[in-house]
Amino acid sequence: MTKILGISGSLRKASFNTALLNAAQSLAPEEVEFEAATLHGIPLYDGDVESESGVPAAAEDLKRKIMSADGVILFTPEYNNSIPGVFKNAIDWLSRPPADIRKVFGGRRFALAGASPGSFGTILSQNAWLPVMRTLGADLWSGKRFMLAKADTLFEQGRLTDDQTSERLRGFVQAFADYAVAAKAK
Distance in angstroms (rounded) separating the CA atoms of residues 42 and 175: 30
Question: Band of the pLDDT at 145, cuts 50, 70, 90?
Answer: confident
Q: Over the chain, what is the mean pLDDT?
A: 96
Question: Band of the pLDDT at 74, cuts 50, 70, 90?
Answer: very high
Q: What is the pTM of this model?
A: 0.97
Percent of the chain with pLDDT over 90: 95
User: For residue 76, which of 107, 121, 45, 41 has the smallest C-alpha distance?
Assistant: 121
Confidence (pLDDT) at 35: 98
Question: Given a cut of 90, is residue 144 above it in pLDDT?
Answer: no
CA 58, 63, 64, 67: dihedral to nearest 10 degrees? 160
Confidence (pLDDT) at 33: 97
Confidence (pLDDT) at 155: 97
Q: How far is CA 66 from the centre of its chain?
A: 10
Question: Given a cut of 90, is residue 104 above it in pLDDT?
Answer: yes
Q: Which whole number is the average pLDDT over 105-128?
A: 96
Q: Hey, what CATH class is 2-185 in?
A: alpha beta
Distance in angstroms (rounded) separating the CA atoms of residues 108 and 33: 17
End-to-end CA distance of the chain: 17
Contacts of 178 by beta carbon, 8 Å cutoff, 6+ apart: none
| Cis peptide bond prior to 29, omega within 30° of 0 | no
DSSP one-letter code for 69: -
Confidence (pLDDT) at 134: 97
Distance in angstroms (rounded) separating the CA atoms of residues 120 and 117: 9
Cite the DSSP H helix spans in the chain. 16-27, 47-53, 57-67, 85-94, 101-104, 123-136, 163-185
CB of 12 within 8 A of CB of 18?
yes
8-60 per-position pLDDT tens digit: 999 999 999 999 999 999 999 999 999 999 999 999 999 999 999 999 999 99
Distance in angstroms (rounded) separating the CA atoms of residues 117 and 184: 35
Confidence (pLDDT) at 185: 76
